[in-house]
Structure 1
Amino acid sequence: MNRYTNLRNTYKTALYVIAGLVLLAEVITQVTVNDLEATLLAQGIEPSDQLYTLRVATYGVGLMILAVLPFLAYGFFRPVVDTIERQVAEIESQNRRLKESEEQMRELLEQTLAQSEELLKTREELESLLKKEQESKKLLEENEEQMRELLMQTLEQSEQLLKTREELERALKEEQETKQKLEVLVKQLQEAQTKLIQSEKMASLGVLTAGIAHEINNPINFVYNGIDTLRMLLQDMFEVVDAYEALHPLKADYQQLLAQLEKVEALKEEIDFEEVKKDIHALVGDIAKGASRTMEIVKGLRTFSRLDEEERKVADIHEGIDSTLILLQNKYKNRIEIKKYYDPELKPFAHYPGQLNQVFMNLISNAIQAIPEERTDGKIEIYTEDKQENVVIRIKDNGVGIPEDKLQRIFEPFFTTKPVGVGTGLGLAIVHSIIDKHGGQIEVHSEVGKGTEFIIVLPKHEV
């Protein structure tokens, strides 16, 4: 394409050069004619018409040459240019094909090189595999003897395993028999534990019997003594009533009616009728109080001694604590202040009420015994708190406290910090076993001279 452009430029240059030469010839001719005309005029010769004709002919020839020159040049150079253009186009097409072929050859060469590299790698891998196979074959040959020896050892071990299996089956059978015996023993132990808890409960009731009898005797005396007095007051009241009833037959006789009314008024003054009415009301109130107190004690006994250890029941622990305090009232009355801080949001939940009452009995009894009788500032605080999934019960006293070296052993059976003859040493051990049965936890914090606090955490179970 560049060659074609160069040819066209050469063609244009040639035209310009020829045109320039024609113009130059025309100028030279005109100058020559002008010089000739000037020479003739200088010699005094008048130029002829031929000189003018020459001038015009020279102009005409020059113009005609300039006009015809492009056509002549086009007719001469055009076939050459067309031929050159075709050759240039063919050359460019061949160049493009050569470039495409060159690119394809380059790609093919690169693919061939890549395949050659892969073949070389494959060859190396095959040689490596062949080498490994030879080594493996050698190792297999070397290990064949070892495998034969291992097979013999395996056969011997199999025989030993068969013997061991038979021994294990015998041991398993013995273990199952032992397990059955253990289940029987566990059941017996649970029954013994239940009996022990009930025995402890009965023992607690036995210890409290005198106090309970005294507590019941006081309200019963109110009732008994009040009945005799009430009988005498009612007899006076009935005399007044009889005197009023004697008025009915006397309705017709006004004088006798007035006389009878005077007798009634005299009788009322004699027995102090208004005072009798007040005394009757007071006695009825005392009798009601005695009966109510007796009912509270009986209800406390019934709640405390309930037998429901085999299944959980929904019950109110506040009732259990209150019933325990009623039974123990004779132990702390007039010397120990009981403060109760019950959580009003705590609702009845599933637990073993009878067993939990035994826990309250043992812990509160210990708190009472921990406060010397000569003290008058004794105090026991009882807290309950609802923790959504758990219930927290705290029983705190300001007694003598427990030494730190004995705190770790207080839940051991038959261990006690009390004097000889006071307690069996089973109270806190039973408490711990009951809390375990509920799936709960119990903690104790104590400081000598300041008091002891037991913290119980019980999970809320569904029935």
Structure 2
Amino acid sequence: MSGRPMPCSTAEISSLFLFEKLSAEQLDRLCSAGRVELFDPGPVFAEGDPATCFYVMIEGTVVMSRRVGSDDIEVSRTSQPGVYAGAVMAYLGDGKPQRYINSLRVSEPTRFFVLPAESFANFIHEWFPMAVHLLEGLTLGAQTFQQAIGQRERLLALGSLSAGLTHELNNPAAAAVRATASLRDRAAHMRNKLSAIASDPYHRDALKALVDLQERTAERVSKAPPLSPLEASDREDELADWLDDHGIQNGWQIAPTFVQGGLDVDWLEQIAAAVDEEILQSAFECLNYTVETELLMSEIEDSTTRISHLVDAAKQYSQLDRAPYQVTDVHEFLDSTLLMLSGKIGPQIEVVKEYDRSVPRVPAYPAELNQVWTNLIDNAVFAIKSAGGEGTLTVRTAIEHDRLLVEFRDTGPGVPAEIRGRIFDPFFTTKPVGEGTGLGLDISWRIVVNKHHGDLKVESVPGDTRFQVLLPLTATEPDTEPDSVADTAQEPS
């Protein structure tokens, strides 16, 4: 976009604060290299276009905006003469093509002094060589500093996740080890019992009936319905009385195992009818080992399945075997993140999932969105625990205005109104020293807004804080976040 050319007056441009210290010769060279243009209300340059010019407003009103999804969000409006925008980083000369990171328009007829980016870079290098070196150092230093702090934030999150995952893996692994040791002991007892039975002159049909009962009992154990503590206690008393009435020794020890395996009095009656009375004691002892063995194998299966699910969740979370950009179901990654953080969330916080399973899959960078989910869940958990430790974390998905909404709602104390506008600023944190870097929400904002062209916002009152992530439903050109905080300097100053 270009305006109507107008005469360049050195007296006029010397009144702008950027140029007020320049010599008459330097002002002449500026007017020769640049131009004055008058723009009617409308766009001056657009976000994403090559940054070819440096603009300094002489008079008028400028409006700066950033693209969020399909919307242009106004970020700055001013009528202050001398504000500048455009190719302000051209002097770096790093060989990387510069692009406008925002859009500029004017709301009334506005005059600019316009300098080509190449000329601007040449003047800066010629007139202010030491300043260029200082600015380069500051820019690169800011990049390195933010990358280091961002890496520390990711390492802190990884450490927290690793600790949680280790805790979650330890419980089923320990259970599997205990169950395996018990299973070996029960198998040895069963072998001894079978050896004793085989050494006695039992009829072949009786032994066959006993083996058949073992098979049927094992099948029944696998289908045992859950009982309440009161129901289990009543059935234990009932089975213990039956066993005592039928002369079975140590019936009070066998009864709890039978109840856990889903056996009842009717089943015991079937056993008594199927075997001779002389081997009834041995039959019940064998069946006790059978039930214990089946229960232990179920415990091992449950524990190893839990470990497998945790490993799958870690793999899903890290996205080690996935393409970085893909069309994905956000629910899979929300679930994996919640599972990875379950140790940190703890039993006192209730997690409620209000998923709209009908929402479509969306194009995204899942590994980076997992970082967003981690940051938002971690903040919600911290807020709840700071208010007493008990509360509810609700994760909701829905369609809102042609975008996918992922909302994290907590019952913590809320975000005070006086700091709500600062929570996405780099290095701002309300956590105690050593517990937060102040980059979690800043990184999340960059991932959602800059990389996914989405939006991240917060609504908060005491007892109801909602962080809302809005993602486009259709693919946009993959984008990257600004290389450093210095990139934002292209806004009017």
Q: Which residue of 2 aligns with 1:339?
A: 352
Deviation at 1:215, TM superposition (A): 1.3
Listed as ranges, the gaps of 5+ residues in structure 2 are 1-27, 36-51, 55-86, 100-135, 211-277, 477-493
Deviation at 1:343, TM superposition (A): 0.6
- CA separation of 1:194 and 1:313: change in aligned 2, threshold 3 A: farther
Find out whether 1:217 has 2:217 as its counterpart. no
1 CA distance for matches of 2:322 and 2:283? 63
Deviation at 1:337, TM superposition (A): 0.8
Q: 1:317·1:348 contact (CA, 8 Å) conserved in 2? A: yes
Within-5 A mapping of 1:341-356: 341-356=354-369
Find out whether 1:368 has 2:381 as its counterpart. yes
- CA separation of 1:311 and 1:298: change in aligned 2, threshold 3 A: closer
Q: Which residue of 2 aligns with 1:441?
A: 455
1 CA distance for matches of 2:412 and 2:471? 25
Q: 2:169·2:307 contact (CA, 8 Å) conserved in 1? A: yes
2 CA distance for matches of 1:164 and 1:376? 68
Opposite residue 223 of structure 1, the aligned amino acid is A
Find out whether 1:180 has 2:105 as its counterpart. no
Deviation at 1:200, TM superposition (A): 3.1
Within-5 A mapping of 1:407-418: 407-418=420-431
Opposite residue 178 of structure 1, the aligned amino acid is G
Q: 1:202 aligns with which of 155, 160, 177?
A: 155
Q: 1:305 aligns with which of 297, 313, 318?
A: 318
2 CA distance for matches of 1:319 and 1:332? 18
Q: Which residue of 2 aligns with 1:458?
A: 471
Partner of 1:338: helix, strand, or coil? strand
Partner of 1:237: helix, strand, or coil? helix
Find out whether 1:282 has 2:295 as its counterpart. yes
Q: Which residue of 2 aligns with 1:68?
A: none
- CA separation of 1:323 and 1:239: change in aligned 2, threshold 3 A: same
Deviation at 1:199, TM superposition (A): 5.0
Deviation at 1:419, TM superposition (A): 1.7
Task: Compare relative contact order (CA 8 Å, sep 6+) and give the higher one, 1 or 2.
Answer: 2
2 CA distance for matches of 1:329 and 1:412? 28
Moved more, 433-442 or 184-193: 184-193
- CA separation of 1:316 and 1:202: change in aligned 2, threshold 3 A: farther
Partner of 2:404: helix, strand, or coil? strand
Offset from partner CA, 1:76-114 (integer Å, 9 cap, x none): xxxxxxxxxxxxxxxxxxxxxxxxxxxxxxxxxxxxxxx
2 CA distance for matches of 1:191 and 1:420? 22
User: Which has more strand, going by share of residues?
Assistant: 2
Q: 1:345·1:386 contact (CA, 8 Å) conserved in 2? A: no
Q: Which residue of 1 aligns with 2:190?
A: 237
2 CA distance for matches of 1:292 and 1:438? 35
Deviation at 1:298, TM superposition (A): 1.5
- CA separation of 1:391 and 1:198: change in aligned 2, threshold 3 A: farther
1 CA distance for matches of 2:282 and 2:300? 27
Identical-pair percentage: 32
Deviation at 1:256, TM superposition (A): 8.3
Q: 2:384·2:390 contact (CA, 8 Å) conserved in 1? A: no
Offset from partner CA, 1:14-72 (integer Å, 9 cap, x none): xxxxxxxxxxxxxxxxxxxxxxxxxxxxxxxxxxxxxxxxxxxxxxxxxxxxxxxxxxx
- CA separation of 1:386 and 1:196: change in aligned 2, threshold 3 A: farther
Q: Which residue of 2 aligns with 1:137?
A: none
- TM-score with structure 2 setting the length: 0.51
2 CA distance for matches of 1:228 and 1:379? 39
Aligned residues: 292
Partner of 1:269: helix, strand, or coil? helix
Partner of 2:371: helix, strand, or coil? helix
Specify the structure having the higher radius of gyration (Cα): 1
